[in-house]
């Protein structure tokens, strides 16, 4: 995607052919900077400190992390240790385990002397595939937008399509294009009108900081709303579709995504507004049927107790500033994700096409 007229992806192999560059998302939206990952440890830290985040990008970073480990030491022991360390860098997004398994399987088939080459090739492939997958999701989502826009009747044909999204499932959460935001980009680039309601997504503010940054960079009309505004907007008929990404979806169709997604799905159901989930197949957990078994990341209390932003005070104008929000005596609790049961989901947009929830969902996933 474009930033100041330059095309960026979120992750890339550096010109030296051995280190990996990433956009440092922990500094956005006020500072655009990049970081170089030179070891598996660097990749793990980038994932756990949310320098990179978003399920598909976490997966791609883990693949490159394994490449960095193998470049240093291609032994079985090193691969096992690196896989283990990467696997524990964040618990919820299934793409992490998916990518580690895919690369380590390839490595197990070749001699040690070949492993650095194979790891680089496989990580590069995963990154390239992620771009085409997201483009395909964008293509299918575009058709859905077309249906929803025309179902509003001819008198509203000139009005923008009003989309509400939660967290960041845009290009910053993938290598490029994004999942839930990909159809929005396609729609906008085709000259169609759109307006996006961006949930701020407390406590890490991925909506306010990242989704808003992306949409602003592409010149797409949007407004950031507090997380609790979605129900009001839906009751007032100000939303045509809700579209979100996912960190892990079970083969029954229950959707694990950023905390607060469930409440949006409930409000959408109550107001008869379509609620769609955009996802690559790598976000499907085929091994879990009971979504209560999905490990939900419990993050630091500090993320709730404090907030960081750009200072507007005279003395420190423009500098980053952290303030405490809650009383010194109060504690906080910070679950990172929740589960939206499949009964609240209108449909899934995958790289292969649409899948409707309901009877034989996992068979449908196989058959498209
Ligand atoms: O904690 P984060 O920022 O990694 O959470 C990201 C999300 O919840 C996204 O919605 C999800 O990963 C889908 S991204 C295409």
- Which long-range contacts (C-beta less than 8 Å, at least 24 apart) are formed by 42-46? 42/68, 43/68, 43/86, 43/89, 44/85, 44/86, 44/89, 45/89, 46/22
Question: How far apart are alpha carbons 184 and 215 in whole angstroms?
Answer: 9
- Residue 217 Cβ contacting ligand 1 at under 6 Å: no
The strand pairing partners of 23, in sequence order, are 34
- Residue 199 Cβ contacting ligand 1 at under 6 Å: no
- Could you tell me whether strands 222-225 and 194-199 are parallel, antiparallel, or unpaired per DSSP bridges? parallel
Alpha helix locations (H) across 49-198? 55-72, 76-87, 94-108, 112-151, 182-189
Q: What's the CA-to-centroid distance between 172 and ligand 1, angstroms?
A: 10
Q: What's the pLDDT score for residue 341?
A: 97
Question: How far apart are alpha carbons 225 and 149 in whole angstroms?
Answer: 23
pTM (two decimals): 0.96
Q: What's the pLDDT score for residue 157?
A: 85
Among 22, 93, 338, say which to mutate for ligand 1: greatest number of ligand atoms within 8 Å of CB: 93
Q: What's the pLDDT score for residue 359?
A: 81
**Strand, helix or coil for residue 67:** helix
Q: What's the pLDDT score for residue 194?
A: 98
Domain 135-367 in CATH 3.40.50.10470? The answer is: yes
What's the number of CA atoms in the CB half-sphere (13 Å) around residue 268? 27
Give the residue from 341, 306, 337, 330 showing the smallest Cα distance to 58. 337
| Class of 2-128 in CATH | mainly alpha
Q: What's the pLDDT score for residue 317?
A: 81
Q: For residue 35, report the phi and psi dihedrals to the nearest 5 degrees.
A: -135, 150
Question: How far apart are alpha carbons 240 and 238 in whole angstroms?
Answer: 7
Displacement of CA 264 from its chain's centroid (Å):
17
Q: Is 17 exposed, middle or buried (0-12, 13-18, 19+ CB in 10 A)?
A: exposed
- Residue owning the nearest CA to atom 8 of ligand 1: 258
Q: What's the CA-to-centroid distance between 38 and ligand 1, angstroms?
A: 24
Q: What is the mean pLDDT of each run of 10 residues along the chain (368 residues)?
A: 92 98 97 97 98 98 98 98 98 97 98 98 98 98 97 91 98 98 98 98 98 96 98 98 98 97 98 98 95 97 96 85 96 98 98 91 86
Q: What's the CA-to-centroid distance between 337 and ligand 1, angstroms?
A: 9
- Residue 54 Cβ contacting ligand 1 at under 6 Å: yes
Q: What's the CA-to-centroid distance between 310 and ligand 1, angstroms?
A: 23
Token readout for 107 is 């490595």
Query: What residues act catalytically?
Result: 247
CATH 1.20.120.420 intervals, the chain: 2-128
CATH 3.40.50.10470 intervals, the chain: 135-367
- Residue owning the nearest CA to atom 15 of ligand 1: 169
Question: How far apart are alpha carbons 82 and 100 in whole angstroms?
Answer: 9
What does the DSSP 8-state code read for residue 297? P
């Amino acid at each position: 995607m474009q930033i100041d007229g330059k095309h960026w992806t979120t992750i890339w192999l550096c010109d030296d052919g051995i280190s990996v560059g990433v956009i440092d998302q922990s500094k956005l939206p006020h500072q655009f900077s990049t970081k170089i990952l030179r070891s598996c440890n660097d990749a793990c830290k980038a994932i756990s400190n949310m320098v990179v985040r978003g399920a598909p990008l976490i997966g791609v970073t883990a693949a490159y992390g394994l490449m960095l480990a193998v470049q240093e030491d291609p032994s079985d022991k090193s691969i096992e240790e690196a896989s283990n360390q990467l696997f524990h860098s964040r618990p919820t997004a299934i793409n992490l385990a998916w990518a580690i398994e895919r690369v380590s399987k390839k490595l197990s088939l070749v001699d040690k002397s070949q492993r650095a080459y194979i790891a680089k090739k496989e990580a590069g492939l995963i990154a390239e595939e992620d771009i085409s997958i997201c483009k395909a999701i964008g293509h299918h989502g575009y058709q859905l937008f077309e249906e929803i826009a025309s179902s509003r009747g001819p008198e509203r044909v000139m009005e923008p399509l009003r989309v509400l999204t939660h967290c960041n499932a845009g290009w910053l959460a993938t290598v490029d294009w994004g999942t839930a935001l990909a159809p929005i980009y396609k729609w906008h680039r085709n000259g169609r009108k759109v307006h996006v309601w961006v949930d701020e997504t407390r406590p890490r503010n991925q909506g306010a900081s990242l989704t808003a940054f992306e949409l602003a960079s592409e010149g797409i009309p949007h407004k950031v709303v507090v997380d609790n505004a979605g129900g009001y907007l839906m009751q007032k008929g100000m939303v045509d579709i809700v579209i979100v990404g996912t960190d892990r979806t079970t083969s029954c169709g229950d959707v694990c995504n950023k905390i607060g997604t469930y409440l949006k799905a409930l409000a959408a159901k109550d107001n008869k507004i379509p609620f769609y989930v955009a996802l690559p197949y790598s976000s499907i957990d085929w091994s879990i049927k009971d979504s209560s078994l999905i490990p939900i990341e419990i993050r630091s209390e500090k993320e709730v107790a404090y907030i960081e932003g750009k200072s507007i005070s005279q003395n420190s104008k423009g500098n980053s500033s952290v303030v405490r929000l809650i009383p010194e005596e109060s504690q906080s609790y910070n679950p990172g994700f929740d589960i939206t049961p499949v009964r609240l989901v209108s449909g899934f947009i995958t790289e292969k096409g649409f899948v409707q929830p309901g009877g034989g969902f996992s068979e449908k996933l196989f058959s498209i």
